[in-house]
Structure 1
Amino acid sequence: MVTIGSNAQQLPGASNNHVLKGIPVLKSQRLAVLPIDSYDLDSELSVVDRHEYGGDYDTYTFGSWSSHVLANGSGADSDTAFRPHDGRLTLTELGRELPGIMSLVTDNFPLDRLQWVRIFSLRDGILAPHVDFLEFAEPGTRLQIPLRTTDESLHSENDIVYHLRRGEVWKIHTTVPHSVRSSVGTARLSLCLDFTDAEEPVAIRNAIPATEPIRIVERPEPTDAELEELMDSGRDLTPETMRAAFRRFAALHFVRRAHAAASFDWYVEAVRRTGDADMVAKAQAFRAYCIEKRGDGEAFVW
């Protein structure tokens, strides 16, 4: 593990897509740290743990991942699929059950551009590397604030793996391949706030000084033997097992120095070793759906 400066603005080349002196650039930014310990959230996090999830994003997710909507444009608990809207931000039934978490939002963030308030839960799971907002004409600003997490819960962005600590406010760079992984045990819960406009800064109130540097995880290079073993596992894939098998390919870039999108390169090559053209086409289509192109409301069918 290595760490870098406590202020995201001090990262070399943080505003662009370059590599400086061989150091990969983290585009996501830690914007602030909130006084999260001043909010009594434990009982409300237990409510989230018990809340049911409709499965809208199961295509991307492996293990136990769920999305819980506290506020959206309609106020309906059943309105869970993210999309930009022109309506007023309205609490859902779940949001009304979580006044402490909603106070964390209203005390510290402006509401005029805020469109969605959600909590993402992840336990012993991983998301397929993906690019957000492909369906929409303009990306917005997505902030994440972990409410409960562990050191083993990690984010990835391109070829970088990093950790979000509890109470840190991160602007996630969602328009490049990125992912998240969490370990077994208690679910990681992360507050997700979606604002209109990707360029306009979000004015955050009541921030406290950061006491910890940003944590970036250093990983060794994958060996040729590891990659060959991974891709050769494709010989045993079937149409019924190929979805579940992708998790192993996505997981590797969290422990070996590789780009998130390489998960799809390895996967497509592995599926080619089945000799099944339909399966290869499905693997290639999954790559396109996750990181290249998809339509509004388009669902991927395995």
Structure 2
Amino acid sequence: MTVGASKNHAVRGVSLLKSQRLAVLPIDSYDLDSELSVVDRHEYSGEYDALTFGAWSCHVLANGSGAESDIAFRPHSDRLALTELGKQLPGIMSLVTGHFSLDRLQWVRIFSLRDGIMAPHVDFLEFAEPGTRVQVPLRTSEESLHSENDIVYHLRRGEVWKIHTTVPHSARSTASTARLSLCLDFSDAEEPVAIRNEAPATDSIRVIERPEATEAEIEELVDSGRTMTRESMRSDFRRFAALHYERHTPASAVFDWYEEAARRSGDAAVAAKAEAFRRYCIEKRADGEAFHW
């Protein structure tokens, strides 16, 4: 239930949005359709399955090792190396090299999302120094959205966004065709990302207006926890995350509702797992730590 933002809500939302649109790339000058089809067919190892619901996948074009199987983000000081997938995507890599400096670039990945949602999360919790994460949608639709705190917004194709990763944020797409977003990770959170040969931004930033959640809606969702089990709680979480996109609520509220629902199950193990998922997603996470449902 998302509609175009009213002018006042859009202005308020944009002013509070910590993520920034840095530029717009002349993406129509690149013939990428055949390469995006290669990404659609590329296998994904499931590294981030604990955080994703529906069809989400990560595809590595370049990293520090040159290995496609090396998916999980970590800072490194190695020279950027193309993976086998990256070598098959010269047009996408020319988009990267034509508009961005490689000096601080550590990872080039494509995130695919189709009929799915990512749990609200905070990136870089496990690292002492956060980097700078930039996303550029290569294929998207109006059904593909991002969120940050209580704001939901749409990234248009070719827009370059610096994602504010240290507050709860997420992504959802209800489209049947996968949204493909180029993700570039640079070292140093403070140093600006230099962008060359950009196009003028002619569209205003699109913030999505959602009605406030009613007490009855939240109570109905939370009370569904009475039937939550250890086997169902992973799939159950998707409903909680989805309400954040349909109603004007903070991303962190998803975990408040989910934890209360888990307590109503009457199963101490279910309640403990819900609390652990909150910690893992938005509070504290060790380097290399994995969450197991």
TM-score by length of 2: 0.96
1:43 alignment partner, SS class: helix
Identity, in percent, stands at 76
Hey, what's the Cα distance between the residues in 2 that align with 1:4 and 1:220? 15
Q: CA RMSD in A?
A: 1.5
The aligned residue for residue 240 of structure 1 is 231
Taking a change above 3 Å as real, the CA distance of residues 281 and 24 of structure 1, as seen in their structure-2 partners, is farther
The match for 1:117 among 108, 115, 118 is: 108
The aligned residue for residue 126 of structure 2 is 135
Hey, what's the Cα distance between the residues in 2 that align with 1:208 and 1:98? 23
The aligned residue for residue 5 of structure 2 is 2
Aligned residue pairs total 289
Hey, what's the Cα distance between the residues in 1 that align with 2:158 and 2:186? 19
Q: Do the aligned residues in 2 keep the contact of 1:230 with 1:249 (CA within 8 Å)?
A: yes
Is 1:285 paired with 2:288? no
What is the CA deviation profile of residues 202-245 of structure 1, one whole-angstrom value per residue up to 9, with x for unaligned ones? 11001111111000001000111111110010000110000110
Which runs of at least 4 in structure 1 moved beyond 6 Å after TM superposition?
none
What is the CA deviation profile of residues 175-223 of structure 1, one whole-angstrom value per residue up to 9, with x for unaligned ones? 0000000013110000000000001001100111111100000100011
What is the CA deviation profile of residues 56-88 of structure 1, one whole-angstrom value per residue up to 9, with x for unaligned ones? 000100000000000000101111111000100
Which amino acid is the alignment partner of residue 183 of structure 2?
A: C
Hey, what's the Cα distance between the residues in 2 that align with 1:176 and 1:75? 30
Which amino acid is the alignment partner of residue 5 of structure 2?
A: V
Taking a change above 3 Å as real, the CA distance of residues 76 and 23 of structure 1, as seen in their structure-2 partners, is closer
TM-score by length of 1: 0.93
Which amino acid is the alignment partner of residue 256 of structure 2?
A: D
What is the CA deviation profile of residues 32-76 of structure 1, one whole-angstrom value per residue up to 9, with x for unaligned ones? 000000000000000000000000000100000000000000101
Hey, what's the Cα distance between the residues in 2 that align with 1:31 and 1:23? 13
Which amino acid is the alignment partner of residue 80 of structure 1?
A: I
1:197 alignment partner, SS class: coil
Q: Structure 2: any 5+ residue segments left out of the alignment? A: none
Q: How does 1:157-176 map to 2 (within 5 A)?
A: 157-176=148-167
User: 1:23 deviation in Å?
Assistant: 8.1
Q: Do the aligned residues in 1 keep the contact of 2:44 with 2:59 (CA within 8 Å)?
A: yes
Taking a change above 3 Å as real, the CA distance of residues 40 and 23 of structure 1, as seen in their structure-2 partners, is closer
What is the CA deviation profile of residues 232-269 of structure 1, one whole-angstrom value per residue up to 9, with x for unaligned ones? 10000110000110000001010100000000000001
The aligned residue for residue 248 of structure 2 is 257
1:59 alignment partner, SS class: helix
Structure having the higher helix fraction is 2
